[in-house]
Structure formats: structure tokens, C-alpha cells
């Protein structure tokens, strides 16, 4: 409790630094998620459409999942150096597996009869994808976005270890000087961010799930 009480004055004292770290944290997480989405959506969709593509893609995604996020960060360092960029790369790699797997699962779960009916009624392939397959896959897809978002926001704390910045800076600093109160200045906002993101996406997921389903 005393650590918590000590954290607040420290936060006030380092207000500017905190806002900056928060901004970097959000930027890092947001950019990683967007890039990961741009990579994962087509890959997941391709895997869902082509049986030959499915196995290598899904297996690779699962394999990536096994590598700890810290290892990805440190593996990126020799090639990309220190700072924001390697952190972004590492977090993007981290975000891809749940996005790929859920995109695949979401599109595969769309009832084949519904898709056939859509084509049979004279929809073009793009109209079927946009008007039928995508909205029906969306709840599962969003579940993947939820997992990836929470993972990325939490793991972005590790970026501080390769000088990527973000709220992890406070954790690292607190750890190195042995003051848990400073660590809390990083930890609590990260946890809150992850919680809020999860809540928002859970609501979105509920909203795109059709009634009566």
C-alpha cells in the first residue's frame, strides 16, 4: 500500500515523461496491431480459401506462438539494432499468430450453404466476400484482435529492454533502482490499458454478432 502511495507523487513529478511514455506505448501497440492486421488478414483468408496453403500458414503461426515475446525482442536486436523500430517488428510478429489463426477459423466457419446460396443468387465474388463471408467471420476475427491487442499492450512493456520506450521504461527503472513504486507507475497504466481495450473489443464483438445467433 505504501508503494502505491509513493507511486502517485512520482507520477506527478514525472508527468511529462509519463505522458510521453504513454504516447509511445500506444503508438507502438497501435502500429504493431495495424501492420499485423495488414499481414494476417490476407494470409488467414488465403489459408481459409486454399487447402494447400492452410497447413503451412497455420503451422507457422502456431510455431511463432511458442517463441516467448522477450526472445523475439532480443532476436530482433542484432539485425535491427535498438529503439522503436525493432520493438515494432517484434510486437508485430507477436500479434500475427492469433490474428492469422482466428481469421482462418472465422472464414472456415462460414456455412458453405450460405456462400453457395450467395453465388447462386448472382453475387460477384467480391460481393460475397464483403457482404456475406466477412460479416459472418467478423465475430471470430474480432476475438483474435482482442487476444492480439491485450498481448501487444502487455508485451510492449518489454520494448524498454531494447530502448524502444513506452511505459516499460518505468518498470525497468524501478527494477534497476530497487523501487517498486516506480514500477507501479508503468505497471498499473499498462494493465488498465489492456483491460479497457479488451472491454471495448468485447463490446464490438457482441455488436457484430447477429441477433438470434
Partner 1 sequence: MSDAPALIADHVSKQFPGGQRPAVDDCSFTVNAGELIILLGTSGCGKTTLLKMVNRLYEPTGGRILFHGTDITQLPATALRRQIGYVIQQTGLFPHMRIADNIAVVPRLLGWQPSRTDARIDELLTLVGLPIDYRQRYPRQLSGGEQQRVGIARALAADPAVMLMDEPFGAIDAITRTRLQGELLQLQEKLHKTILFVTHDVEEALRLADRIIVMRDGKILQFDTPLRVLTEPVDDFVAQLIGADDLLRQLSLLKVGTLTTAPVSPTDVGDGSPQVRANDDVRHALALLLGTGAQRVLVIDDAGHVTGQLGFGDVQRALHHDLAVGS
Mask of contacts with partner 1, 60-99, x by CB under 8 A? ----------------------------------------
Binding of residue 117 to partner 1 (CB under 8 A)? yes
Residues 132-171 that bind partner 1 (CB under 8 A): 132, 135-136
| Sequence-distant (≥ 6) Cβ neighbours of residue 116 within 8 angstroms | none
For residue 112, give Cα distances in angstroms to 42, 70, 118, 119, 124. 20, 41, 10, 11, 16
- Which of 33, 61, 4, 62 lies closest to 156, judged by CA? 33
Q: Please report how close the Cβ of residue 109 comes to partner 1 at its closest, in angstroms.
A: 12
Residue span binding partner 1 (CB under 8 A) among the ranges 73-81, 117-125, 170-178, 192-200: 117-125
Q: Does 207 bind partner 1 (CB under 8 A)?
A: no
Q: How far apart are CA 147 and CA 84, in angstroms?
A: 23
Query: Is 46 exposed, middle or buried (CB count within 10 Å of its CB: 0-12, 13-18, 19+)?
Result: middle
Comparing CB distances to partner 1, the nearer of 66 and 121 is 121
The interface region with partner 1, picked from 20-28, 56-64, 120-128, 198-206 by CB under 8 A, is 120-128
Task: Using the minimum distance from each CB to partner 1, give the nearer residue, 23 or 124.
Answer: 124
Residues 211, 122: Cα–Cα separation, whole Å: 26
Amino acid at each position: 500500500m505504501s508503494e502505491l502511495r509513493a507511486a502517485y507523487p512520482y507520477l506527478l513529478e514525472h508527468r511529462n515523461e509519463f505522458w510521453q511514455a504513454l504516447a509511445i506505448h500506444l503508438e507502438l501497440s497501435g502500429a504493431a496491431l495495424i501492420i499485423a492486421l495488414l499481414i494476417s488478414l490476407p494470409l488467414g483468408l488465403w489459408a481459409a480459401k486454399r487447402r494447400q496453403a492452410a497447413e503451412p500458414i497455420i503451422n507457422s503461426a502456431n510455431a511463432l506462438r511458442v517463441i516467448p515475446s522477450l526472445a523475439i525482442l532480443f532476436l530482433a536486436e542484432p539485425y535491427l539494432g535498438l529503439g522503436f523500430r525493432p520493438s515494432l517488428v517484434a510486437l508485430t510478429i507477436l500479434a500475427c499468430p492469433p490474428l492469422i489463426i482466428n481469421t482462418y477459423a472465422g472464414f472456415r466457419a462460414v456455412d458453405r450453404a450460405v456462400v453457395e446460396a450467395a453465388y447462386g443468387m448472382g453475387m460477384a465474388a467480391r460481393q460475397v466476400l464483403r457482404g456475406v463471408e466477412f460479416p459472418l467471420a467478423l465475430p471470430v476475427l474480432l476475438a483474435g484482435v482482442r487476444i492480439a491487442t491485450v498481448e501487444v499492450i502487455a508485451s510492449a512493456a518489454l520494448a524498454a529492454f531494447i530502448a524502444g520506450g513506452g511505459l516499460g521504461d518505468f518498470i525497468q527503472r524501478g527494477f534497476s533502482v530497487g523501487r517498486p513504486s516506480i514500477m507501479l507507475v508503468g505497471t498499473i497504466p499498462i494493465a488498465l490499458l489492456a483491460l479497457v481495450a479488451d472491454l471495448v473489443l468485447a463490446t464490438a464483438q457482441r455488436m457484430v454478432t447477429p441477433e438470434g445467433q
